[in-house]
Chain A
Amino acid sequence: MEKDQDKILNEVTQGEYKYGFVTDIENESIPKGLNEDVVRLISQKKNEPEFMLEARLKAFRHWQTLEMPEWAHLKIPEINYQDIIYYSAPKQKVTLESMDEVDPELRATFDKLGIPLDEQKLMSGVAVDAVMDSVSVKTTFKESLAELGIIFSSFSEAVQEHPDLIKKYMGSVVPYTDNFFAALNSAVFSDGSFCFIPKGVRCPMELSTYFRINAANTGQFERTLIIAEDDSYVSYLEGCTAPKRDENQLHAAIVEIVANRNAEVKYSTVQNWYPGDKNGMGGIYNFVTKRGKCAGENSKISWTQVETGSAVTWKYPSCILLGDNSVGEFYSVAVTNNYQQADTGTKMIHIGKNTKSLIISKGISAGFSQNSYRGLVKVLKNAKNARNFSQCDSLLLGDKCGAHTFPYIEVDNKDSIVEHEATTSKIGEDQIFYCNQRGIKTEDAIGLIVNGYAKEVLNKLPMEFAVEAQKLLQISLEGSVG
């Protein structure tokens, strides 16, 4: 039986990456390399106002003084930042009025990925902003959302149409000085999504951004900004894929969320960048800074992520719990296989009174991969009655992978309760035996157990994503060495 399980594990964990195709679309890109002129050029291409260029240059100058962080439990070969194309966009001549005008190749790409760009597909009920390489290609349902006062557009559009909002909120949660990759992104980001939910509005549909890296040698640097005004609610989805290539590609994004009084933002990600082949060749370097600020009282930000892709993941979606009674949540399933490496987790910074945070992290590692949870729970002196509970479990499938847990707990007052617990184990043989006994094949049994293990997190995903995520898990791995 042990051999059986090995075989099944091998078969299953070597499942092919099915989004690895390349679309043949005419691209407009600038030469490789990064200097002030490139930053100016990007800004100019996007026809940005003066304040944006200044912000970019400031970030770029700061970035030059920084060094790539090395503290994570990751082995990253040196990255040559001069060998990357910082701007690449599908050629677009005129602004699109309807779906028919979208490049058929492009539509085909998103159709292949199963992304409903077509507004006719009302059934899906999801408004999509699709970002290919560095540029937003299509935002759906814009008009119907606008009726409610919701702004959902590409970041560049927002810069043109709502410069005040951008000026006010951009960098307010993740300043360009935050870290190496945040500085890089702030200097060269090309596009992304912008979302503004006005006071008292409950967004009637899920908002979704779909990121796709297509062109070779490019880096993708997108930026998402979500602002939820008082008493509003929004659920936001993010998905990503990239073609199979032998070289590594860089993805450094920033996501900023601001939740004002009584607002709630739910951010879900299914991260499925190309993870590299089974020998560890190629794959995306995913260095992302995601942070939400619960600025107002009773606000809530919840991060849910399913991480299956990327060769290297460096990502810590965090919550700054500034408003009294605010709540931060983090649900994560991180799967690593073959030679993937992930160092991911969260930070919960309790500043306001009666703030609460919950961390549920499930790591699954297989093959030769390394999967680390790294988290910080910090309770400042004035955060009276703060409450945190963290649970970080790791599941090991195979004896050549690693699972690590690095939590940091820092508490500065006596009224808070912080709890952390973590376990590391493999799938119980008795569980598999139990299933076998009842006529469930080992393969299915392992699938069942892994899905059950991740259930707590998958339950938090919106319907559309939950299905996708479950399938992804099934593909990524279902096996355990007995």
Chain B
Amino acid sequence: MSLKTVMKDSKEKYIELYLKNQELLKKDSPEYINEIRKNAFEEFQVNGIPNKKNEFYKYTDLNKEFDNGFKNYFSPKNIKFQLEDIFSCDVPDLNTKVILLLNGWYYDRENLITELPGGAVIGSFQKATELYPDLVKKHFGKYADSKKEGLVALNTAFVKDGVFFYVPKGAVIEKPIQIINILMDEEEGLTQHRNLFILEENSQASVVICDHTLSNPNFLTNSVTEIFVGQNASLEYSRMQNEHNGSKQVSHLFFNQERDSKVNTNTITLHGGLIRNNVNVLLNGEGCENSTTGLYFTDKGQHIDNYIFMDHAYPNCISKQLFKGVLDDYATGAFSGKVLVRKNAQKTQAYQTNNNILLTDDVDIKSKPQLEIYADDVKCSHGATVGQLDEDALFYMRARGIDKKEAKLLLMYAFAHDVIKTIQVPALQERIQDLVDKRLRGELSRCNSCQMHCC
């Protein structure tokens, strides 16, 4: 079932892997999924794994990472772990519904689907394809474009499990949903989970995602999440990435926002070897609001690359992007954000900011904020800065008896606060504030109370 490491173009490897395991892949999936799978596989053969010649991946060479011959498997493995481990992800004072994904598989095999108040449903994606074929058919593969992006096609071709979350018309889910992605295995592995969130008209929900690694081997993740936000619905989506330095993660997030919907996303990257976050937002109706923010801390040899595509297809929408990062040691980072304002999207407001603080001479940052505008009655701006901590502010504090280290920490903390304050759930905001503080002090090695301290 595993892939033998042969020196071949990585694309060929995955084609071979697919062909060898076709039957296994198709076995538990309904026909309509397999149809999409087949098409995606064909599209993958066209685009393959992006390399640096691809403008979208100019600063992150994934071909190399995907070439490492990671093993893949097609049914959940029985791996036991200490539940206490994940309690470290617990957010004090925040009552959440916790969902676990282990190596991309829904963990709770006994209860694959859980019903929530108001008719909402959360559970295994694979199970949902069986139980809710109409819903899945309507949304699956509709927002994530396999044609454009080889990695999305790869994920779709290998689609098995992930999280399915459905909130019906008018339902309000008070309790935040916490999804914890755990990577734990004795050998290196590739994970390609696929999530589908559907929020119907006037619904409301809040989701917290945590990415963790609980064992040492190098992991590679290529995940796709499709999110449909119906008319006047509202979603709060917070993500915390905290994996060890041997892990590589590529995540694709696709938002489809209908009229008057509201989405607030933030991605806090505390640790991770190589991280590439793609966020694609389609504002598919008038009056949408979107705020996409991110905060990243990298040190050692870590690499972080954030890519945002904000598509203003209709008039009167507002989007805000704010990405801030601190780079230390010999870390590398990249940011590219693109705002597209289509011809009829008048009265658009789109803002984009990327600020970076460099702490050593060996770090390297690339920033590429872009505007592509085809409508005239718009207010769009972007800004990018690369710099250091303000000398004057440091001096001011030192003159008042605050030592240098503390003063620096304070400044970085203030720098990060702009992003943290966009988190709407107060308890979560507090928790992240605390984690960021610890991260800046270097006390947080992988996860606050993780036993392994592997980095």
Residues in A lying within 8 Å of B, measured CB to CB = 71, 73, 379, 381, 394, 396-426, 481
Residue of B nearest to A418 (CB): B386
Q: Name B residues whose Cβ lies closer than 8 Å to a Cβ of A.
A: 55, 343, 346, 356, 358-361, 363-388
Known A412-B364, A416-B386, A421-B382: A396·B370 in contact at CB below 8 Å: no
Chain A residues closer than 8 Å to B378, beta-carbon distance:
396, 424-426
Check A405 against B383 for contact (C-beta < 8 Å): no
Please, which residues of chain A bring their CB within 8 A of the CB of B383?
419-422
Known: A71-B55, A404-B371, A406-B368. 7 other contacts (CB 8 A): A399-B343, A414-B359, A414-B363, A418-B387, A422-B381, A422-B382, A423-B381
7 contacts between A and B (CB under 8 A): A409-B384, A410-B365, A414-B360, A415-B361, A419-B384, A421-B381, A424-B371
Question: Nearest residue in A to B59 (C-beta to C-beta)?
Answer: A410
Within 8 Å CB of B382, what residues of A? 405, 420-422
Residue of A nearest to B379 (CB): A425
Instruction: Say whether B380 contacts A425, CB under 8 Å.
Output: yes
Tell me, in angstroms, the Cα distance from A404 to B380 when the chains sit together: 11
Contacts of B366 in A (CB 8 A): 408-411
Establish whether residues B368 and A402, one from each chain, have CB atoms under 8 Å apart when the complex forms: no
B388–A394 CB distance below 8 A = no
A409–B371 contact, CB under 8 A? Answer: no
> Residue on B with the closest CB to A421?
B383
Q: Is the CB of A409 within 8 A of B380?
A: no
Give B356's nearest chain A residue, CB to CB: A411
Report the Cα distance A1→B360, complex, angstroms.
57
Asked whether B381 lies within 8 Å of A409 as measured between CB atoms, the reply is no
- Bound state CA distance, A379 and B361, in angstroms? 11
Q: Is the CB of B369 within 8 A of A413?
A: no
Q: How far is the CB of B132 from chain A (nearest CB, A)?
A: 42
What chain B residues lie within 8 Å of A394 (beta carbons)? 371, 373
The CA of A41 and the CA of B361, in the complex, are separated in Å by 53
Give bound CA distance, A75 to B368, whole Å.
22
Q: Give 8 closest A-B pairs by Cβ, nearest first.
A: A396-B376, A414-B358, A409-B367, A421-B383, A417-B387, A424-B380, A423-B381, A418-B386
Query: What is the minimal beta-carbon distance from B301 to any residue of chain A, in angstroms?
Result: 15
Q: A405-B370, A420-B385 are in contact. Are A399 and B361 (CB under 8 A)?
A: no
Give chain B nearest CB distance to A403 CB in angstroms.
Answer: 5
Residues on A with beta carbons closer than 8 Å to the beta carbon of B385: 417-420
Residue contact A402 to B373, C-beta cutoff 8 Å: yes
- Residue contact B371 to A397, C-beta cutoff 8 Å: no
Q: What is the chain B residue whose CB lies nearest that of A381?
A: B361
Contact, CB under 8 Å: B384 / A420: yes
**Distance from B379 Cβ to chain A, minimum over Cβ atoms (Å):** 6
Report the minimum CB–CB distance from A75 to chain B (whole Å): 14
Q: Is the CB–CB distance between B372 and A404 below 8 Å?
A: yes
Quick one: closest B residue to A420, CB to CB? B384
B370 touching A411, Cβ below 8 Å: no
Query: B377 and A399: CB pair below 8 A?
Result: yes
Bound form: Cα–Cα A396–B372 in Å: 12
In the assembly, what is the distance between CA of A35 and CA of B385, in Å? Answer: 48
A381 CB contacts on chain B under 8 angstroms: 361
Partner of B369, one of A407, A415, A425: A407
Q: How far is the CB of A453 from chain B (nearest CB, A)?
A: 15
C-alpha gap A394/B376 in the complex (Å) = 10
A415 to B391, CA, bound (A): 12
Contacts of A397 in B (CB 8 A): 376
B371:A422 contact, CB within 8 angstroms: yes
Contacting residues, chain B, for A400 (C-beta < 8 A): 343
State whether A415 touches B370 (Cβ < 8 A).
no
Kindly list chain A residues whose C-beta atoms are within 8 Å of the C-beta of B376.
Answer: 396-399, 401, 426, 481
Rounded to whole angstroms, the CA-CA distance of A128 and B24 in the bound complex is 78
Within the complex, the shortest CB–CB distance from A148 to chain B, in Å, comes to: 43
A402 CA to B340 CA, complexed, in Å: 11
Bound Cα distance A398, B388 (Å):
41
Interface centre among B372, B376, B387, by most chain A C-beta atoms within 10 angstroms, is B376
How far, in Å, is A257 (CB) from chain B's closest CB?
27
**A410-B365, A411-B358, A413-B358 as given contacts; A402 in contact with B374, CB under 8 Å:** yes
Q: By the criterion CB–CB under 8 Å, are B373 and A399 in contact?
A: no
By a CB distance below 8 angstroms, the chain B residues around A416 are 386-387
Q: Which residues of A contact B373 (CB under 8 A)?
A: 394, 396, 402-404, 424
CA distance A130 to B375 in the complex (A): 41
Q: Which residues of A contact B379 (CB under 8 A)?
A: 423-425
In the complex, how many angstroms separate the beta carbon of A208 from the nearest chain B beta carbon?
36
A411 to B381, CA, bound (A): 22
Is the pair A399, B346 in contact by a Cβ cutoff of 8 Å? yes
Taking a contact as CB atoms under 8 Å apart, the answer to whether B386 and A411 are in contact is: yes
Most buried by A among B358, B359, B371, B375: B371
Contact between B369 and A420 (Cβ–Cβ < 8 Å)?
yes
Q: Beyond A399-B346, A424-B380, A426-B376, is A415–B388 a contact (Cβ under 8 Å)?
A: yes
Q: How far is the CB of B266 from chain A (nearest CB, A)?
A: 23
Is there contact, CB below 8 Å, between B381 and A414?
A: no
* A406 to B368 alpha-carbon distance, docked (Å): 7
Docked pose: A417 CA to B355 CA in angstroms = 11
Question: In the complex, A401→B367 CA distance in Å?
Answer: 26
Distance A439 CA – B454 CA, assembled complex (angstroms) = 73
Contact B375 A399 (CB under 8 A): yes
Which chain A residue has the least Cβ–Cβ distance from B372?
Answer: A404
Give the complex CA separation of A398 and B343 in angstroms.
Answer: 11
Which chain B residues lie closer than 8 Å to A422 at the CB level? 369, 371, 381-383
Using CB atoms, name the residue of chain B closest to A406: B370
B248 to nearest A CB, angstroms? 23
CA A421 to CA B382, docked complex, whole Å: 6
A444 to chain B, nearest CB (A): 21
A401 CA to B55 CA, complexed, in Å: 24
Taking the closest CB of chain B, its distance from the CB of A349, in whole angstroms, is 14
Residues of A within 8 A of B368 (CB): 406-409
CA distance A399 to B375 in the complex (A): 5
Task: Name A423's contact: one of B374, B380, B384 (CB within 8 Å).
Answer: B380
| Complex Cα spacing A344 to B360, Å | 33
Min CB distance B8 to A, Å, is: 28
Residue of A nearest to B363 (CB): A414
In the complex, the answer to whether A414 meets B388 with C-beta atoms within 8 Å is yes
A366 closest partner in B (C-beta):
B376
User: Using Cβ atoms and an 8 Å threshold, which residues of chain A touch B380?
Assistant: 423-425
CB distance from B370 to the nearest CB of A (A): 5
* Nearest CB of chain A from residue B54's CB, rounded to whole Å: 12
Taking a contact as CB atoms under 8 Å apart, the answer to whether A411 and B364 are in contact is yes
What residue in chain B is nearest A426 (Cβ atoms)? Answer: B376
**Chain A CB within 10 A, most for which of B346, B356, B360, B370:** B370
Contact A426 B371 (CB under 8 A): no
Nearest CB in chain B to that of A407: its residue: B369
Q: In the complex, A424→B312 CA distance in Å?
A: 15
Which residues of B are found within 8 Å of A379, using beta-carbon distances?
386
What residues on B are CB-neighbors of A426 within 8 Å?
376-378
**B381 and A424 contact, CB distance less than 8 A:** yes
A189 to B370, CA, bound (A): 35
B386:A404 contact, CB within 8 angstroms = no
Within the assembled complex, what's the spacing in Å between the Cα atoms of A187 and B381? Answer: 42
B370, closest chain A residue (CB): A406
Report the bound CA distance from A401 to B378 in whole Å.
Answer: 13
Q: Are A404 and B370 in contact (CB under 8 A)?
A: yes
Whole-angstrom distance between the Cβ of A375 and the nearest chain B Cβ: 11
Nearest chain B CB to A384 CB, angstrom units: 8
B151 CB to nearest chain A CB (Å):
22
Q: A400-B343, A406-B370, A423-B380 are in contact. Are A414 and B361 (CB under 8 A)?
A: yes
Give Cα A159 to B361, complex, Å: 45
Expressed in whole angstroms, the Cα–Cα distance for A397 and B373 within the complex equals 12
A417 to chain B, nearest CB (A): 4
Return chain A residues, CB-CB under 8 Å to B377. 399, 426
Min CB distance B353 to A, Å, is: 9
**A419 vs B383: C-alpha distance in the bound complex, in angstroms?**
7
CB-defined contacts of B365 to chain A, threshold 8 Å? 409-411
Which A residues are CB-close (under 8 A) to B384?
407, 409, 418-421
CB B335 to nearest CB in A, in angstroms, measures 9
A421 to B343, CA, bound (A): 23
